Structure 1
Amino acid sequence: MAATQFVVNGLLVGALFAAVAVGFALIWGVVDIINLAHGEMVMLGGYTSYWVLKLGTGTAESSVLLFLASIPVAIGLLFVVGYLLQRTLVSRVIGTDVFLTLLVTFGASIAIQQLAIRAWTANPRSIQVRFAEQSMALGGIVVPKMKLIAFAGALALTVAMYVFLQKTRTGRAIRAVSQNPEAAALVGIDVEHTRAVTFGVSSAIAGGIGAFIAVILNIQPQMGLIYTLKSFIIVVFGGVGSIPGALIGGLLLGSVEELVSGFISSQWTLAVSFSLLIVLLVVKPKGLFGEGAEQ
């Protein structure tokens, strides 16, 4: 029963990891860079929701409806942040040396961290959502209500991104740029604007997930690195460019980490995750869903 409880906890948290990784994979696939500042978008989303509630109600404790109302604000603000980040900084290094793109995004992540520390201090914060009962029991498995809501929200954001990419004009433009930027430009697609929108959408999803993370875990300015690392593991694990792969990879990573934390120690979770990644790369270098999976 303990193992089942750990797996359920892992699936609930893993959906959050997966949604963050989907945005990371989108930038990797369309803009062809590894965005080391992606985790900072999660952090900023968490703080956005926190301060919307704090400034609006005077407290970080709220009802479920008030908390959910803060999420569109986080999504909208982080879209603007991501769009501007690409337009003002990342666009200048696209097509140059890979090391330079890593250096620029890493520098952006450090700058955002330090600005957040200056603005909000390094003290951990969280959002408290009021429930009559904080958890419910299903067949002997205890399920925290807020984790269940966060799980549903993460799945909704992931599905929304998939539908956006498949069914909308902008989504088709993003997929065209990811496949062949030159050909996309020839048919009238504004490649630079599309790349900036991609950054914006990726950051918006990360910001929305950051808001959900703020109600189940503490947020603090230096939390971004761990989500960048987890996103990298998940994207490589599931297959670069595959949204279903990122979703399944996130659920698997969450389950593995909860099992390791429950049966061994939480200090071993990253070590085990990276070890599994190395084994997978040896056995199946293209990831579970392969390099050519459709976005």
Structure 2
Amino acid sequence: MAFTQFVVNGLLIGAIFAGVAVGFALIWGVVDIINLAHGDMVMLGGYTSYWALSLITGNAEGSPLLFLATIPAAIAVLYVVGYVLQRTLVSRVIGTDIFLTLLVTFGISIAIQQLAIQAWSANPRSIQVGFADPSINAAGLVIPKMKLVAFVGALVLTAALYLFLQKTRTGRAIRAVSQNPEAAALVGIDVEHTRAVTFGISSAIAGGVGAFIATILNIQPQMGLIYTLKSFVIVVFGGVGSIPGALAGGLLLGTVEELTAGFVSSQWTLAVSFTLLIVLLVVKPNGLFGQEAER
């Protein structure tokens, strides 16, 4: 029963990891950079929801419906932040040395963290969502309701992104730029605008998931790094640019970490995760859903 409880907990938190990682995968696949500031979009999304709920209720406490009403605000604000960052800074280093792109996105991450500390202090904060009964007890398992809401929310955001990429004109343009930017430009696609939109969407998804994270964990300005690292591991697990791969990788990572924390120690979770990453790279270098590179 303990094993089953850990697996359930892992799947619940794994979907949240996956929701963060799909945006990271999108940027890596389309813009071809590793965005070290991605985790900070999660942090900003959590704070946006926190302050929006505080504006509505006078404090960061409210009903589930009031909290859910703040999600569109987090998504919209982070879309604008991502779009502006790509247009003003990231676009200048696309196609240059990979070290330069890492340096620029790392610099953006540090700047965002410091601005957040100056604006909101380093004190941890969280959103309190009221439930008459905070958990569900079924078949001997305990499922926190807010974790279940966050699980569903992360899956909805992931599914919405996948459908957007598959079914909309903008989504097809993003996929075209990902596959061949030069050919996309020849058929009339504005590559720079599409890349900026992609960056905005990636940040928006991270911000939406960050709002859910603020209800189950404390948020603070320097929380972004761990989500960037986890996103990197998940994307490599699933295959660069693969949304289904990011979902599978997130669920896998969450389950592995919960089992490790439950049966060994929480201090070993990162070590076990990166060991699993190394083993996967040896066995299947392109990830679970990655495609072989054309020669």
Q: Could you tell me the TM-score, scaled by structure 2's length?
A: 0.98
Alignment map for 1:199-218 (pairs within 5 Å): 199-218=199-218
Verify: 1:223 aligned to 2:223, yes or no: yes
User: 1:261 maps to what in 2?
Assistant: 261
Asked if residue 9 in structure 1 is aligned to residue 23 in structure 2, the reply is no
CA distance in 1, matches of 2:104, 2:291: 26
Q: Which residue of 1 aligns with 2:73?
A: 73
Q: Look up the match of 1:233.
A: 233
Aligned to 1:168: 168
Q: Cα offset for 1:57?
A: 1.3
Q: Describe the superposition over 1:48-68 as per-residue Cα deviations: whole angstroms up to 9, x where unpaired.
A: 000001122111111000000
Output the CA distance in 2 between the equivalents of 1:287 and 1:183.
27
Structure 1 residue 149 displacement after superposition: 0.5
**Partner amino acid, structure 1, of 2:284:** K
Q: In the aligned structure 2, how far is the partner of 1:58 from the partner of 1:242?
A: 41
Residue 291 (structure 1) shift: 2.8
In structure 1, distance between residues paired with 2:50 and 2:261: 28
Which residue of structure 2 lines up, in the alignment, with residue 19 of structure 1?
A: 19
- Give the match for residue 58 of structure 1: 58
Deviation, 1:263, is: 1.2
C-alpha distance after superposition, 1:21-72 (max 9, x if no partner): 1100000000000000000000000000000011221111110000000000
8 A Cα contact 1:241 1:291, kept in partner: no
User: Which residue identity lines up with residue 286 of structure 1 in the other structure?
Assistant: N
Describe the SS at the equivalent of 1:35: coil
CA distance in structure 2 between the partners assigned to 1:100 and 1:20 by the alignment = 24
Output the amino acid matched with 1:43: M
- The question of whether the paired residues in 2 share the 8 Å contact of 1:39 and 1:224 is answered with yes
Corresponding residue for residue 187 of structure 1: 187
Matched, 1:145 2:145: yes
Task: Give CA deviations for 1:174-217 in whole Å, capped at 9, x if unaligned.
Answer: 00000000000011000000000000000000000000000011
Task: Output the CA distance in 1 between the equivalents of 2:267 and 2:50.
Answer: 28
Q: 1:173 to 1:261 in 2, by over 3 A?
A: same
Retained in 2: the 8 A contact 1:40–1:113? yes
Tell me how far 1:292 sits from its aligned partner: 5.3
CA contact (8 A) 1:23 1:202 kept: yes
Counterpart Cα distance in 2 of 1:13 and 1:111: 28
1:101 aligns with 101
Q: Equivalent residue of 1:137, what SS?
A: strand
How far apart in 2 are the matches of 1:291 and 1:73?
Answer: 36
Task: Give 1:31-50 correspondences, 5 Å limit.
Answer: 31-50=31-50
1:238-249 alignment, distance < 5 Å: 238-249=238-249
TM-score w.r.t. structure 1 length?
Answer: 0.98
Unaligned runs of 5+ in 1: none
Q: Number of residue pairs matched?
A: 293
Partner deviation per Cα, 1:148-176 (whole Å, 9 max, x = no partner)? 01000000000000000000000000000
In structure 2, the CA distance between the partners of 1:179 and 1:138, relative to structure 1 (3 Å rule), is: same
Shift of 1:278: 0.5
Alpha-carbon distance in structure 2 between the residues aligned to 1:244 and 1:264: 29
Percent of matched pairs sharing the same residue: 83
Contact 1:241–1:292 (8 Å) recurs in 2: no
Partner of 2:274: 274
C-alpha distance in 1 between matches for 2:96 and 2:243:
27
Task: Give secondary structure in 2 for the equivalent of 1:122.
Answer: coil
RMSD of aligned Cα (Å)? 0.9
Task: Please state whether the residue corresponding to 1:12 is helix, strand or coil.
Answer: helix
Matching residue's letter, 1:174: I
Q: Aligned AA for 2:215?
A: V
